Amino acid sequence: MKKQFLPYFLLFFACSAAVQAQNPANATQVFTFEQCTQYAREHNIQARQLQLQTESAVVNLQQSKANRLPNANANWSHGLNYGRSIDPFTNSFNTEATQASQIAVSSRVVLYNGRQLHNTIEQRKLELEAANWDLKDLENNLQLNILSAYMQILLAEDQLQVLEQQAKVTQTQYEQTQRFVNAGALPAGNLLDIEAQIANDRLNMVNATNAVNSAYLALSQILNYYEPFKISKPAVEAPDVNALNQLTAQQVFDAALTTQPQLQSATLRTRIAEQSLKVAEGARYPTVVLSANLSSLYSSRAQDIVFGTGIDTSFTNYFTLTGTPIVSLTPEYRLKKTSYPTQLWNNLGGFIGLNVSIPIFNQFQVKNAIKLSRINITNAYLTQENTQNALRQQVEQAYLSARAAATRFEALQVNVAALQKSATHAEKRMNAGTISALEYLNIQNNFTAAQLNLETAKYEYYFRLKILDFYQGKSVNLR
């Protein structure tokens, strides 16, 4: 059985490598941290939705500006009147079927309405600015989530390398012990403990491989990218344990007040509420509108008189003083239907006027709208204050976490250095035969566990420092 264990262990290494190749290792696409961030901005669904909201805010601003311009509308109607109706040309009743048309062009422009148009434009500008800050806030959160997932991959891969190195050490001890057993220098039972250690190493590497795959899955879900890919591995240097000595939580918070988009957005929401109050108060004032209209009519009963060249002569019932009959001379004429274009031109008429609407009583709508606007202002101030308090809490927690991570990282550095010396000394003692291979492996396991903890502490501290950089408005990268 012991002779068969080594091939089985090597087979595990081959299978483990194959599993990794089926996940990130066989990918041709390699993402840097900056590329991950850019890809998420372009493909994350929430980011795309906020981009659409920003585009909507742009359209709303454009429309609010366009509302200051005059409108213009054209209207045309054509119908058939039958039965008893009034002829618009003679203003008399008519029983014949008549076709009639009406065409009109009208325009109106608001000259004054309590500055509601102006205040609405200012409100829309603030809404657009707030939408941009909301998008920036989401992009920042995406960047932090990507940073966390990215560093989790780096940590998992580094831990896997440590465990692979530990497995090689165990395998070396297994081979060395087997030679001693074959030579009769050690009992065969010594191999059993090392075989158990090999099985434990195998389990640890399986867990570490799963951790790598899980970390890649978490990042792919953030990116909304599900093709095989790898990440580039920047050199993450061990951070300086004294990096926070010249930095306080208050300094970080003061910087965050001017850089964090969620606070900028909350401040703008307060200004939007104040601007909304001005719009509501504008409804108290008169509205002055200039309007103009140009219209014309057509009727199928309209007729023109067409004169001929002759003259009709007829005697009247009247006589001159001498008794001579008075003759009536009438030019020859006939009636002709007036054409459509001619009627439109002949009947063309216009109107221009000024309308003033003074609000007197409208079921308290204006008064209540003003009340609601003031309530919204108070609520916006509370939201702004709550956002600032939440930001302070986040900064204080981030600073405290960074301090704790620095302390733990420093302690683990000392611990690893001591255990490394112990492992080196134990190896010499084992080679000298003063301790068994199992005792050496126990010491080596302690050293490996400390290395894993140190890797975790290094990335944790590095991540916490990046969080503080983020709150101070500094660029977040892994360079």
- Domains of the chain, first to last: 2-69+113-285+359-471 (1.20.1600.10)
Say if residue 104's pLDDT is above 80: yes
Q: Which of 17-21, 118-122, 251-255, 305-309 has the lowest mean pLDDT?
A: 17-21
Strand partners, 336: 304
What is residue 418's predicted lDDT score, i.e. its pLDDT?
Answer: 95
Report the range of poorest mean pLDDT among 138-147, 191-200, 323-332, 334-343: 323-332
Beta bridge partners of 328: 314
By the 10 Å C-beta count (0-12 exposed, 13-18 middle, 19+ buried), 419 is classed as: buried
* β-bridge partners, 243: none
pTM of the model: 0.79
**Higher per-residue confidence, 333 vs 213:** 213
**Greater pLDDT, 176 or 115:** 115
Strands (E), 207-248: 229-231
CA distance linking residue 399 with residue 407, whole number of Å = 12
Q: What is the pLDDT of residue 13?
A: 44
Instruction: Give CA–CA dist 177/210, Å, rounded.
Output: 31
Task: Please give the backbone phi and psi of residue 171, each rounded to the nearest 5 degrees, phi first.
Answer: -65, -40
Cα angle value 315/319/320 (rounded, 5°): 130
120 to 123, 142, 308, 435: CA distances (angstroms): 5, 33, 67, 85
pLDDT above 50: residue 20: no
Could you give the CA distance from residue 183 to residue 175 in angstroms, rounded to a whole number?
Answer: 12
**Proportion of the chain above pLDDT 90, given as a percent:** 62
- Min mean pLDDT across 38-42, 248-252, 343-347, 384-388 is at 343-347
Q: What is the pLDDT of residue 383?
A: 96
> pLDDT at residue 315 above 70?
no
What does the pLDDT average to over 139-152?
Answer: 93
Closest CA to 266 of 375, 392, 125, 382: 382
For residues 39 and 142, what is the distance between their CA atoms, to the nearest angstrom?
Answer: 11
Lowest average pLDDT, out of 137-151, 178-192, 252-266, goes to: 178-192
Alpha carbon distance, N-terminus to C-terminus of the chain = 51
Strand order in the sheet with 287-299: 71-81, 98-112, 287-299, 349-357
pLDDT score, position 100: 86
In the structure, what pLDDT confidence band is assigned to residue 11 with cuts at 50, 70 and 90?
very low
Most confident of 13-17, 21-25, 296-300: 296-300
Q: What would the mean pLDDT of 319-336 be, rounded to a whole number? A: 73
78-87, 150-159, 171-180, 376-385: which range is least confident on average? 78-87
Residues 72 and 170: beta-carbon distance below 8 Å: no
Rounded CA gap, 291 and 296, in Å?
17
Higher-pLDDT residue of 61, 99: 61
151 Cβ contact list (under 8 Å, min separation 6): 236, 459, 462, 463
pLDDT at 14 over 60: no
Distance, CA of 237 to CA of 259 (rounded, Å): 27
Q: What is the pLDDT of residue 476?
A: 84
Asked whether 324 and 124 are in contact (CB, 8 A), the reply is: no
- Predicted pLDDT of residue 370: 96
Is the pLDDT confidence value at 160 over 70? yes
Single-letter amino acid, residue 90: T
**What pLDDT, on a 0 to 100 scale, did the predictor assign at position 90?**
66
d(CA 198, CA 423): 18
- Residue 311's alpha-carbon distances to 61, 119, 334, in angstroms, are 72, 74, 13
Radius of gyration of the chain (CA): 45
Query: What gap in Å lies between CA 328 and CA 386, rounded to an integer?
Result: 100
Torsion angle of the four alpha carbons 255, 261, 262, 267, in this order, in degrees rounded to the nearest 10: 90
Query: What is the predicted pLDDT for the residue at 397?
Result: 97
Q: Which of 73-77, 296-300, 304-308, 441-445 has the highest mean pLDDT?
A: 73-77
Distance CA 355, CA 357 (A): 7
pLDDT at 183: 83
Instruction: Tell whether the model's pLDDT for residue 234 goes beyond 70.
Output: yes
What does 56-119 look like in DSSP terms, one character per residue? HHHHHHHHHHHTTSPEEEEEEEEEEE-SSEE-TTT-SEE-S-EEEEEEEEEEEEEEESTTHHHH
pLDDT at 250 over 70: yes
86 pairs with which residues across the strands?
93
